[in-house]
Structure 1
Amino acid sequence: MTAHISRRSLLGLAGLGAGAVLLGGCASEESSGSEDPQTIKWWHIQDTEPMLPVWAEMARVYEVRHDHVTINIEPRENEVFKAALVKASKAGSPPDLFQSWGGGLLREQVTAGLVKDITDEAAPWVGQLLPAALQPYTVDGRLYAVPFDLGMVGFWYNRDLFADAGIASPPTTWAQLLEAVDKLKSANIVPMALAGKDKWPAHFYWAYLAMRIGGMGPLQRAALDGNFDTPDFVAAGERFLELVAMKPFQPGFRRAEYGAPDGQAAAIGNGEAAMELMGQWAPSIQASSSTSKRGIGSRLGFFTFPAVEGGKGEATDVLGGGNGFAVGRGAPPRTVDFLRTLLRAENQRRAAQTGVVLPTNLAAVGQIKDPNNQVVAAHLAVATGFQLYLDQAFPPAVGGQINDSVAQLVAGSKRPDQIVKDITAVARSQ
């Protein structure tokens, strides 16, 4: 996904206060001692604070309450995790519980018979979760993983720089966004930061434009027939080129990585650019990548991707994703019960208090303390449609081609009508 930092591992980069008491079950679930010993192998990518100790404590408490269960935790850095999972999958021996982002990769795992259908076991409690959060983990109407975190992509902007350019309020239409870019450039302010080297940040623009122009329908149909060579996807590329032609991005953006000291997040965190299109993790990465290690604080604002004039899509349709856990096909019987524990309201509240998790349990949403996360959660609560990031929604080969093709569009080496043919060719070869 990215040479320097992957957005899939961006939720493990902040600090956590110690001393939290975490719940690992309830009295009715405690072991009677009559069950056979079970060892659950758990792989996750929260390999740093704040979530590393949180997960460890949840597992410890569960073991105490179920004396026949042992949980072997293997935290792994994101890219190491992905490589290890590929190796384990090829050997037909996936972990019992492991990180999942749903979408195309999960579908491939389902087809290969590597993951367990947990629809029936989760039925008594899955209704407590945000409906939109479950979509990426549902394949052909059956549930194969459960999300513990959900977020969305939107524009993060510097209020002071907007004011300096005479922009009174965030744009709500594409035309207003282009006008804002023009005003910022006239005020000698870099309008936008982009990690061109990483490719995936640019695909957010094309994906959102396709959603705003054509609605959710074209993406849903493309998921079925693999056809991206349609007027709506071409129009998305043409609209994106309207923006690219204005040269809105920071100098050297084509070589920039997202989380590098001189990358996209740092440009916002250091006040060197006015806005970026990024996920809910953006504030923490802006801060950690900035020179001050604090970012721009209360000067940071958020607005959703604007509507496109004449488009069929709703301004409340969102592009996003999150983190979840899938259950391996040969997992011990207690694995789904332990997964239920991770999703309990009490434990989701603890996760939310770290500031890096937007909980999916409805009863825990009120525990979000970070004001930026509160804003994102409020938009998710009223979302009319939810689209998983395209490079995760489709099989890995298709997602990779989408990122490559949008990068070619930005570089000017391919036209909008050409990239949709390239993406379609890969999609239909799967």
Structure 2
Amino acid sequence: MGDPALSRRGFLAASAATGLGMTALSGCGGDSDGGSSDGTTTIEWWNISTTEPAHTVWAQLAKKFEAQNPKVKVKIVQMENDAYKSKMTALIASGKLPDIFHTWGGGVLKQQVDAGLVEDLTDKTKPWADDLLKVSKEAYLIDDKVYGIPFDIGMIGFWYNKALFKQAGITEPPTTWAAFLEAVSKLKAKNITPIALAGKEKWPGMYYWAYLAMRTAGASALQKAYDDKDFTGPEFVQAGAHLKDLVALQPFQKGFLNAAYSTPTGQAASVGNGKAAMELMGQWAPQVEADAGKGLGKDLGFFPFPAVDGGKGAITEVFGGGGAHALRRGAPQAAVDFLKFFASEATDLELVKKTGTLPVVPGAESAISDPNLKAVQAQLNAATGFQLYLDQAYAPAVGQEVNDSVAALIAGSKSPEQVAQSITKVTKEEQ
């Protein structure tokens, strides 16, 4: 599967699984010094690729770019996810950002744009950026202007054990919520744990509520509710009710409320070791299942989150995210050139082959060999709507409240109505 660190969720998984620390260059704040006396331009590139193989591959790509551009030097600063976020927060307050920096888009990027710190790339990246996978670019569009160039894209879906499904008499993955609940019941009837969940970490549970909200209200409704500061509409309450119906079936592994995601006894390992039939997770799941457990090999399958009968959302509407690079305002032309290099078919082919990322350049799709990743890519290509992770799409406090409230619903301490009210309350306070 490659390096899950290149995906926002995969990095959280990998950092827990492999004990990542500040393994790369120490970060120095602010922008680069630009040109030097010998005519060389130095550009500073901040990223979160601290795990192998991406750590090495990205360093090699920087050297390749330097070889093609002899008057440019790339200074790489690499940090673990949470440390990167903390450092960037400090830099935003100082008003100085690196020339090139990792972004997940959404509300955080908008804050940086509103502060006047990010370069508008709309004209600078035409026409080559127009050819990138459409769904991969949506998180970095603000007021129809381009502020980030993606290098990775992914989606959340169900990863399942084909052998356990067969054992329970489930002949094909469910495409509706009613059929999904029926599948859960069939698995339980055979004493098979239907779903593994990292209840301790909260964000994996949020995926269920987010997808159910998309399926009941439609993908665009989540952003509209945030803009309107109101999540109390009937579809959002219904999303919580559907999740409550699932929880009532007691589908999760024993001790799930204290389970982490990628530890030897956590969510990914439960699936990877054949002790649970499913998990709702991103495209990095196969690697983490193999790292934390044994992995399922050919028994592993993938299917999109089911449709909800009577809901306004379609099964082709996708919840997920990826990674992109943005530039500080006033970054040198060499930084734009680097973005073009990184978004080229040649670079994307290397990333797909060597690090397991999903391609954003259509021509690089030929490099995908894993059938499950092909299935994910097909879903992304056919996507009719896209919603970024809620804790990136929304202001940080709102995203955290979504995670906390949904975790409380799963634990039985909040009702569907209370979840909607709590998220609404924090949204009003933050905007």
TM-score (norm 1): 0.91
1:250: how far off? 0.3
Contact 1:150 1:321 in 2 (8 A): yes
Q: Helix, strand or coil for the counterpart of 1:157?
A: strand
Contact 1:355 1:370 in 2 (8 A): no
- Which amino acid in 2 is paired with 1:9? F
Q: Deviations over 1:110-136 (max 9, x none)?
A: 111121111110112111101111110
- Which amino acid in 1 is paired with 2:9? R
Contact 2:8 2:321 in 1 (8 A): no
1:11: how far off? 8.5
Q: Helix, strand or coil for the counterpart of 1:324?
A: strand
Q: Report the equivalent of 2:51.
A: 48
1:334: how far off? 1.1
Q: Helix, strand or coil for the counterpart of 1:121?
A: coil
Q: Report the equivalent of 2:150.
A: 147
Residues 51 and 355 of structure 1: CA distance in aligned 2, closer, same or farther (over 3 Å):
closer
Q: Specify which of 48, 51, 76 is matched with residue 73 of structure 1.
A: 76
Contact 1:103 1:137 in 2 (8 A): yes
- Which residues in structure 2 correspond to 1:58-207 (within 5 Å)? 58-207=61-210
Whole-angstrom CA distance in 2 between matches of 1:84 and 1:382: 37
Q: Specify which of 208, 211, 214 is matched with residue 211 of structure 2.
A: 208
Residues 316 and 421 of structure 1: CA distance in aligned 2, closer, same or farther (over 3 Å):
same
RMSD: 2.0
- Which amino acid in 1 is paired with 2:299? R
Q: Deviations over 1:288-326 (max 9, x none)?
A: 000x4xx01000011111111111111111111111111
Contact 2:156 2:282 in 1 (8 A): yes
Q: Helix, strand or coil for the counterpart of 2:123?
A: helix
1:330: how far off? 3.8
Residues 352 and 400 of structure 1: CA distance in aligned 2, closer, same or farther (over 3 Å):
same
Q: Report the equivalent of 2:367.
A: 367
Q: Report the equivalent of 1:376.
A: 376
- Which amino acid in 1 is paired with 2:148? A
Whole-angstrom CA distance in 2 between matches of 1:114 and 1:424: 29
- Which amino acid in 1 is paired with 2:103? S
Q: Report the equivalent of 1:426.
A: 426
Q: Deviations over 1:207-262 (max 9, x none)?
A: 11111111123213123222111111110000000000111000110011111111
- Which amino acid in 2 is paired with 1:257? A
- Which amino acid in 1 is paired with 2:403? N
Whole-angstrom CA distance in 1 between matches of 2:225 and 2:356: 32
Find out whether 1:303 has 2:303 as its counterpart.
yes
Contact 2:13 2:262 in 1 (8 A): no
Whole-angstrom CA distance in 1 between matches of 2:408 and 2:177: 22
Q: Report the equivalent of 2:239.
A: 236
Contact 1:147 1:324 in 2 (8 A): yes
Residues 10 and 403 of structure 1: CA distance in aligned 2, closer, same or farther (over 3 Å):
closer
5+ residue gaps, structure 2: 1-6, 18-35
Q: Report the equivalent of 1:286.
A: 289
Q: Report the equivalent of 2:341.
A: 341
Q: Helix, strand or coil for the counterpart of 2:124?
A: helix
Contact 1:213 1:308 in 2 (8 A): yes
Residues 345 and 10 of structure 1: CA distance in aligned 2, closer, same or farther (over 3 Å):
farther
Whole-angstrom CA distance in 1 between matches of 2:91 and 2:63: 25
Whole-angstrom CA distance in 1 between matches of 2:14 and 2:340: 22
Moved over 3 A (4+): 10-14, 33-36
Whole-angstrom CA distance in 2 between matches of 1:353 and 1:43: 23
Whole-angstrom CA distance in 1 between matches of 2:190 and 2:349: 43
Residues 350 and 239 of structure 1: CA distance in aligned 2, closer, same or farther (over 3 Å):
same
Contact 1:12 1:49 in 2 (8 A): no
Q: Report the equivalent of 1:219.
A: 222
1:355: how far off? 4.8
1:6: how far off? 7.0
Q: Report the equivalent of 1:22.
A: none
Whole-angstrom CA distance in 2 between matches of 1:380 and 1:303: 12
